[in-house]
Amino acid sequence: MSDHDKPTRTSPNTPDGAEEPVTTRRGIRSFVLRQGRMTDGQKKAFDRGWSRFGLGREQGVIDPREVFGRDAVLNLEIGFGMGQSLAEMAEAAPEQDFIGVEVHLPGVGSLLKDIEAKGLENVRIYSIDANDVIDLCLPDASLDRVMVFFPDPWPKKKHHKRRLIQPEFIQRIRHKLRVGGVLHLATDWENYAEHMMEVMNEAEGFANAEAPGAFSPRPEHRPMTKFEKRGERLGHGVWDLLFHRTN
């Protein structure tokens, strides 16, 4: 049985209703599944909130207007970690809608805690491989912004093929963005930033929001994480790339 044909499995650490992202449909996985255990608070938030805020493959291609009950600016964050930044962005822009993708269940539980604590209505969550979300769940030209913040840099050269930001992935993202929509990438690894810029400079249908080849200042809408603040104090760089879909 190929990876493409393997069924979704559950594990003792997978709450009821969640899918365990055990495979990727495109061969090379860009993440390591460090599932870990959810805290009691995260598990309780998951149990209370997943049925309302969770989305899955079985729903097929969604209609965002039906999912959110309105027609609004739609944002997608791929790999939201523990979810603080996504919750902060959603709280700051209640007139916009946000879909987050994260395979690590403690992060999903953490975001659901924040959704509950902040009373957010404009967030939905996939806990499956981002490739499946893009290929199986989202309509073409439905997104106003796609965000990939601090993806795994896979720093060893032999692992660079595992980096998420690759030409083929970018073109699949492009089809989900509306014309004029924004792809926003950020990394704190200079080598990965250079790789991202090389990929985007050559990407069909995208134009740099700054001058060609130039990185962007951090937009106000991207929250600065505690990790990023600490790195800034230590003199570590962060690179943002903003590109518009042109066609």
Numbers of helices and strands, H then E, in the chain: 8, 8
Residue 57: inside a domain, yes or no?
A: yes
pLDDT at position 231 is 73
pLDDT at position 8 is 34
Residue 91: inside a domain, yes or no?
A: yes
**Residue that is written with structure tokens 């950020």 in the block:** 186
Q: Pick the catalytic residue from 3, 152, 188, 240.
A: 152
Residue 207: inside a domain, yes or no?
A: yes
230 or 58: whose pLDDT is higher?
Answer: 58
Could you read off the pLDDT of 61-80 as tens digits, one per residue? 999 999 999 999 999 999 99
Residue 22: inside a domain, yes or no?
A: no
Could you read off the pLDDT of 182-196 as tens digits, one per residue? 999 999 999 999 999
pLDDT at position 86 is 98
- CA neighbours closer than 13 Å in the CB half-sphere of residue 159: 11
The CATH number of the domain holding residue 168 is 3.40.50.150
**Domain span including residue 195:** 33-245
φ and ψ of 87, to 5 deg: -65, -40
Q: Give the span between the Cα atoms of 72 and 68, in whole angstroms.
A: 9
Confidence of residue 12 (pLDDT cuts 50, 70, 90): very low
Q: Give the span between the Cα atoms of 24 and 31, in whole angstroms.
A: 10
**What's the structural domain count of the chain?**
1
Share of the chain above pLDDT 90, in %: 79
Residue 172: inside a domain, yes or no?
A: yes
Within 10 angstroms of residue 155's Cβ, the number of other Cβ atoms is 11
Residue 187: inside a domain, yes or no?
A: yes
Q: Give the span between the Cα atoms of 91 and 154, in whole angstroms.
A: 32
User: Which sign, positive or negative, has the C-alpha torsion 163, 239, 200, 202?
Assistant: negative
- Residues whose CB falls within 8 Å of the CB of residue 119, separated by 6 or more in sequence, listed in order: none
Q: Average pLDDT of 50-71?
A: 98
C-alpha 139, offset from chain centre = 16
Q: Give the span between the Cα atoms of 49 and 32, in whole angstroms.
A: 25
Residue 64: inside a domain, yes or no?
A: yes
Residue type, 97: D
φ and ψ of 112, to 5 deg: -65, -35
63 noted as active-site residue: no
Residue 178: inside a domain, yes or no?
A: yes
